[in-house]
Amino acid sequence: MNRPNQRTNIVRRIVVILGVLAAQAHADISITPRVAYYFDNTSQRQSAINFNTPQEQAILQQVGTLWNAVGGVLTGTQIFSSLNSEQLAFPQYGATITVSFGQNESTQLAFSGLYGRSSGDTTRNTQLFLNFTRLGVTVVDEISKAELAHGNFTRLDLEATLQHRLNETFSIIGGMRGERTTESDSFVSQALTSTNFLNLLALQTGLTIADVENLKNSIPLVQRQVGNLSKSQWIYSARLGAAAYAPVGERHLFYVNGLLQMTRDPGARGSSVTATYQGVNNQYRSTVVFDGRLPSETTLGPDISVGYLFRFNDRFAVDMRYRALVYFPISGPYNFRDSRVDHGISLGFTSWFDRHK
């Protein structure tokens, strides 16, 4: 199946439909090629980082089972994590097609599309502290994990907006948006487990060095993982708000848009293959294959734009704008304070045609 041809046909159909609407309504059409440079901080969010993978849970189960078997008690855990990652920078290109109709062209229907690619590296360090008590003595062990990942990303933003101008300085706006993202990661990680509880066990029970070594071999004190992850998703948004304008003469226009958006991420479709190696000799242990859907998320937040438009004449104008979109989670794996933020600048060149006087 030829997907580029499919996309071309879809774009052509949209243009034809808008052209028919414009002709029937004696409306104006404008086309705005646009380039943009946006930043996305998704890779920097970390409130959902924890020791919840099957491999990490296996370590905890083995440690806890061994300790409880010799009369110890696992009294508590604490998790601390750190993440080193830059915001993803997406150079994007695309266009907006706008149909203006109604009295004095007061209503506009616009369809926009932007596409871009990006790549980035992420370093993640996580420490899990385990508190063990036996015969009145408490020791603390640490499982530390370091992960390095490299990812390639694509992003397609599609947006439909309906705007009605109430007067020369104020409009109401509503619309829908779809964000199609893909991600392909390769990663390597290593987890190290300390042996304070084994040393305490040796002191309290008189275990020999050989006995302690046998116990250490039963626990993955050194665990290395290599793998890859691919995921793709659609994120849908509905937004409603208003715009204010400040015209200066006949050629200059300053504007600001303020909208509230509700966004739904139904959960990315993901697949991964992870190989696990244990011990200082990197002995192969197992391979885990995942194919399923990742957690969903619902967010709420503002969509704000400020911009300037310069009109050369009745048929051509240029505009520059800065846009910021903030997504505060209200459900899903992240907490409310760990927001996703998209922001950046764009430049558009608008041409009008089929103007009706």
Q: Where are the domains of the chain?
A: 3-353
Biggest alpha carbon–alpha carbon distance for the chain: 99
Q: How far does CA 328 lie from the centroid of its chain? A: 12
Question: Mean pLDDT over residues 8-20, rounded?
Answer: 52
Place of tokens 């994590």: 81
The tens digit of pLDDT for each residue in 58-100 reads 666 666 676 666 666 665 565 666 777 878 999 999 999 998 8
Which pTM value belongs to this model?
Answer: 0.78
How far is 69 from 62, CA to CA, in rounded Å?
Answer: 11
Residues 6+ apart with CB under 8 A from 300: 260, 261, 262, 263, 327, 328, 330
Q: How far does CA 67 lie from the centroid of its chain? A: 39
Determine how many CB atoms are found less than 10 A away from the CB of residue 287.
Answer: 10
The dihedrals phi and psi of 135, each to the nearest 5 degrees, come to 55, 40
- Please give the structure tokens belonging to residue 80: 């601390």
Of 9-18, 39-48, 86-95, 348-357, the poorest mean pLDDT is in 9-18
Place of tokens 């304008």: 245
Amino acid 51: pLDDT? 59
The three-state secondary structure class of 55 is: helix
Determine how many CB atoms are found less than 10 A away from the CB of residue 297.
Answer: 22
Alpha-carbon separation of residue 10 from 4, 154, 161, 238 (angstroms): 10, 19, 18, 22
The tens digit of pLDDT for each residue in 243-270 reads 999 999 889 999 999 999 999 999 889 9
Q: Please count the residues of the chain.
A: 357
